[in-house]
């Protein structure tokens, strides 16, 4: 049977796996049923399966031939704390938890690739299949590395895919350089003396300090960062006060920074501290900053991006592989794996246009099953390109 026929033959089964995972979503580091499902399938395919690597992670290995080279393929297990509004027969059975980012699809496609690779002799070397927990917010990829993933399963390259609504359906996007942004979060507590709203002269007003900070910090991007180095700073929360006749003694401001240049992490931290202290001093208040460094940027090395683009051409044709496009200001903890390994690529598979609320993290998000065979075929082609028989 030809490879395309083999892929077509298992697509309905793979979609069934995706829908089963979708109907039973689990949040980060709690993906027990999902991990058990994945591990059972991998064992059924004949892979060597490890569930003792890190938290709820599942890692499996497959070796063919006599080659000593190894690569890793990664998918995510976790869902999001979102109440599903999509009208599908396999909708989430857990109120307030939903696969709204397509991790169910990524996992199912990688399972499909594992099944076909186990049945073939199309590569020479070792493939490490990494099904990681807690990609969303909690940094499951970082924890896996801290727990010894790459020491226990050393590889030369690591690859991952992500469905991408808004990118042309059936197209593959991979670029050398930044593809996803870094993310840092900050929290500032402004403190002063609370007082009666009718007697503001008897206290200090941390609300005014917070308001001054919110407007002044916008200079960080517009006046302190090179205009040719993209950056975003957004203030996303302000909390303070409970009554309309009392000036609160404490106000909390929270926000996030996004950028591609890792050096901007230190710059943002220093500027936010400086502006916060100045705003507080201007109003007789104090400011305390907590700056949380999050995911680094996803930066595809040239060699990994080139291999992924060639595998993409093998998959959908060169005319449907896009290597020049605007990267995303979204973040992705695959950055830790890519940084730890040093080579590989993060790839988008276009899911086409979607409606309001149906994009990534939307409550009406529906994974486009038309891209399932593309994802499976891409994984197979990456393996065959990276670990060629007779290579």
pLDDT in tens, 259-272: 999 999 999 999 99
The torsion angles phi and psi of 229, rounded to 5 degrees, stand at -115, 100
Q: Sheet containing 286-293: which strands, arranged edge to edge?
A: 231-239, 250-259, 182-191, 286-293
Q: How many CB atoms lie within 10 A of CB 250?
A: 18
Distance CA 340, CA 337 (A): 5
For the chain, what is the mean pLDDT? Answer: 96
Annotated binding site: 101, 103, 136, 162, 361
Confidence at residue 186, expressed as pLDDT on a 0 to 100 scale: 98
Count of CB atoms situated within 10 Å of the CB of 63? 15
Q: What confidence tier does 94 reach under pLDDT thresholds 50, 70, 90? A: very high
* Digit-coded pLDDT (tens) for 135-159: 999 999 999 999 999 999 999 999 9
**pLDDT confidence band for 191 (50 / 70 / 90):** very high
Q: Does position 294 have pLDDT exceeding 70, yes or no?
A: yes
CB 259 within 8 A of CB 265: yes
Binding-site members for Mn(2+) are 101, 103, 136, 162, 361
CATH class name, domain 182-294: alpha beta
Name the phi and psi angles at 355, rounded to 5.
Answer: -90, 180
Mean local confidence (pLDDT), 56-65: 98
Looking at the DSSP bridge assignments, the partners of residue 70 are: 126
Element (H, E) at 239: strand 231-239
Residue 33 has pLDDT above 90, yes or no: yes
Q: How confident is the model at residue 355 (pLDDT cuts 50, 70, 90)?
A: confident
- Report, in angstroms and rounded to the nearest whole number, the Rg of the chain calculated over CA atoms: 24
H helices of the chain, where? 3-23, 32-45, 103-118, 140-146, 149-152, 206-216, 219-224, 264-282, 302-316, 334-341, 372-386
Q: Dump pLDDT digits (tens) for 310-328.
A: 999 999 999 999 999 999 9
Q: What percent of the chain has pLDDT over 90?
A: 93
Nearest to 99 by CA among 163, 172, 53: 163
Torsions phi, psi of 162, nearest 5? -145, 130
* CATH classification code of 3-179+297-387: 3.40.630.10
CA separation for the pair 141, 249 (Å, rounded): 40
CA distance 273 to 289: 6
* pLDDT confidence bin for 203, thresholds 50/70/90: confident
Domain ranges of the chain: 3-179+297-387, 182-294
């Amino acid at each position: 049977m030809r490879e395309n026929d083999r892929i077509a033959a298992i697509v309905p089964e793979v979609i069934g796996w995706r829908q089963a995972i979708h109907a039973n979503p689990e949040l980060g580091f709690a993906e027990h049923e999902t991990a058990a499902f994945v591990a059972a399938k991998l064992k059924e395919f004949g892979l060597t399966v490890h569930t003792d690597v890190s938290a709820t992670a599942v890692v499996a290995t497959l070796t063919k031939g006599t080659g000593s080279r190894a690569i890793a393929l990664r998918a995510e297990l976790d869902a999001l704390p979102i109440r599903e509004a999509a009208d599908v027969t396999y909708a989430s059975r857990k109120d307030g938890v939903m696969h709204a980012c397509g991790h169910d699809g990524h996992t199912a496609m990688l399972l499909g690739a594992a099944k076909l690779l186990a049945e073939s002799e199309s590569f020479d070397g070792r493939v490490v299949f990494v099904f990681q927990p807690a990609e969303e917010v909690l940094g499951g990829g970082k924890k896996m590395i801290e727990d010894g993933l790459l020491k226990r399963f050393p590889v030369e390259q690591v690859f991952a895919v992500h469905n991408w609504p808004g990118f042309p359906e059936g197209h593959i996007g991979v670029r050398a350089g930044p593809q996803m942004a870094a993310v840092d979060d900050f929290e500032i507590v402004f403190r002063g003396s609370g007082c009666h709203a009718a007697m503001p002269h008897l206290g200090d007003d941390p609300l005014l300090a917070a308001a001054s900070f919110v407007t002044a910090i916008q200079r960080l991007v517009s006046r302190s960062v090179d205009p040719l180095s993209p950056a975003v700073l957004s203030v996303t929360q302000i909390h303070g006060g409970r009554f309309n006749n009392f000036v609160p003694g404490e106000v909390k401001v929270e926000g996030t920074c996004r950028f591609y240049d890792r050096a901007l992490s230190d710059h943002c931290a220093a500027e936010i501290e400086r502006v916060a202290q100045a705003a507080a001093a201007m109003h007789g208040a104090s400011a305390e900053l907590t700056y949380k460094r999050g995911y680094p940027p996803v930066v595809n090395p040239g060699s990994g991006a080139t291999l992924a683009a060639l595998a993409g051409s093998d998959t959908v044709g060169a005319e449907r592989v896009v290597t020049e496009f605007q990267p995303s200001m979204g973040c992705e903890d695959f950055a830790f794996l890519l940084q730890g390994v040093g080579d590989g690529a993060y790839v988008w598979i276009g899911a086409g246009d979607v409606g309001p609320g149906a994009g990534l993290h939307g409550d009406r998000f529906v994974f486009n099953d038309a891209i399932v065979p593309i994802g499976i075929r891409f994984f197979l082609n990456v393996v065959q390109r990276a670990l060629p028989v007779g290579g």
